[in-house]
Structure 1
Amino acid sequence: MSPEADGAASIVVEISTDGACLGNPGPGGWGVIMRWRGQEKRLSGGEEHTTNNKMELTAAIEGLAALTRPSTVVLYTDSSYVRNGIMSWVKGWQANGWQTKDRKPVKNADLWRKLVEEEKRHEVTWKWVKGHNGDHYNEIADDLATSAAREIAGR
């Protein structure tokens, strides 16, 4: 995806993400819908044995990674875990060597590191939306994630 060709500052890419898991852990999926200047791109994927939090993180990572150039991004997620983690918790985890305040290893640290790296490439505003509450693009991302999880599960 290359909406940035006209200049990153003038184009805002909106990305809605979601993760789904059939059982937690279990087969999981992630979904992304990207929008800019009236265009859309949809992405999805999944894993056989994963957790909902991993799929929520993966959706955000994949959405940002799909941008071919640094961009101005508004990323919508229904995951407080992702939004709070990237906006607040990650700085402390990094300072503590990827350990919590209790000196325990951060769960999903590999994915958090990837998300931090992807975020560095862009100017990202993180927005939380209430899931399963009628937000059109969140519903699309949820459908993509759920379909990917079902495909992995063979359902």
Structure 2
Amino acid sequence: MTSPVVIYTDGACKGNPGPGGWAAILRYGDHTQEISGGAAATTNNRMEMMAAIQALQSLTRPCQVRLHTDSQLLVNTMTRNWKRKANLDLWAELDRLAATHQVEWTWVKGHGSDPWNIRADELAVKAAQAIIQR
């Protein structure tokens, strides 16, 4: 069996709603890829979800994935059937992608000691700042 793709994601928003950014770091063996983006009018939850979506969409074939996020909403909705009250478009896309891959959803403490989570946060904040500066 091959090793899992390890992904760290984060979302950021300047105001909620407001300009936001998302970021993901994908790691497989010795390879690391950072991706990020943003939106002019969004929420923190949408950016957290978009980070996971963009990371999973970037995989070129079905994979075993260990996805780390500091969003309890994201982890618990995907693993414990928390009620979906908003962002139904993004939840549907996450369901579709999760069905393509074997995803292990893992919560990590935000702004904690995990260097990959810290880096994902830096990238998401930078992406949100880029939206503001446009």
TM-score range, shorter chain: over 0.9
Tell me the residue number matched to 1:150.
Answer: 129
What amino acid is aligned across from residue 131 of structure 1 in structure 2?
G
In 2: Cα distance, 1:26 partner to 1:152 partner: 10
- TM-score calculated relative to the size of structure 1: 0.83
Tell me the residue number matched to 1:4.
Answer: none
Tell me the residue number matched to 2:109.
Answer: 130
After superposition, the C-alpha distances for 1:23-71 in whole angstroms (9 at most, x for unaligned) are: 0000000000000111100000000000000000000111111100000
CA-atom RMSD in angstroms:
1.3
- TM-score calculated relative to the size of structure 2: 0.96
Tell me the residue number matched to 2:90.
Answer: 111
In 1: Cα distance, 2:87 partner to 2:94 partner: 11
Structure 1 residues without counterparts, runs of 5 or longer:
1-8, 94-99, 101-105
What amino acid is aligned across from residue 121 of structure 1 in structure 2?
T
Give the structure with higher Rg (CA).
Answer: 1
Shift of 1:141: 0.6
| Structure 1 moving runs of 4+ over 3 Å | none
In 2: Cα distance, 1:132 partner to 1:31 partner: 15
The correspondence of residues 28-43 of structure 1 with structure 2, limited to 5 A, is 28-43=20-35
SS of residue in 2 equivalent to 1:10: coil
Structure 2 residues without counterparts, runs of 5 or longer:
none
SS of residue in 1 equivalent to 2:110: coil
SS of residue in 1 equivalent to 2:92: helix
Tell me the residue number matched to 1:75.
Answer: 67
After superposition, the C-alpha distances for 1:112-135 in whole angstroms (9 at most, x for unaligned) are: 000000111101111000000121
Identity value in percent: 47
SS of residue in 1 equivalent to 2:27: strand
Tell me the residue number matched to 1:53.
Answer: 45
Tell me the residue number matched to 2:78.
Answer: 86
What amino acid is aligned across from residue 108 of structure 1 in structure 2?
N
